[in-house]
Amino acid sequence: MEFNEKYTVSIQGIDFTLSKSQIEFDGPNYFTTCFLGDFRESSTRRVELSRDPDLFRIVLSYLSGYTVLPLNERVIPATMSQEAALLNLRADAEFYQLDG
């Protein structure tokens, strides 16, 4: 088994590279289903999504094992209030099937 497995999540044209340990964090989740299951993405190691890339940066920090709440002002997308960012982050957590 390869220890340096990389997976690409493309969010509205912005590519994010995730390691296997990141996709397995808080699993099972959307990423383990896509990349480690019987879906096409498991062979291409790439998935394209229509989500918010700025919010995904927060999700990526979480998948790296960092505490992301409370949100720091600097990570809140410019187009969102803090309240909207929290609501949208919760919606993304549900979409990605993350429990933490």
For residue 10, list its beta bridge partners: 15, 48
What pLDDT, in 10s, does the model give residues 24-35? 999 999 999 999
Q: Is residue 1 part of a domain?
A: no
What pLDDT, in 10s, does the model give residues 46-82? 999 999 999 999 999 999 999 999 999 999 999 999 9
- CA gap 82, 96 in Å, rounded: 21
Q: How far is CA 43 from CA 11, 12, 22, 28, in A?
A: 19, 21, 18, 18
- CA gap 43, 60 in Å, rounded: 22
Q: Is residue 54 part of a domain?
A: yes
- Per the structure, the count of domains in the chain is 1
Q: Is residue 30 part of a domain?
A: yes
pLDDT of 37? 87
Which segments within the chain are labelled E, that is strand? 6-11, 14-19, 46-49
CATH number of the domain that residue 27 is part of = 3.30.710
- Domain residues for 11? 6-95
The residue type at 96: Y
Q: Is residue 100 part of a domain?
A: no
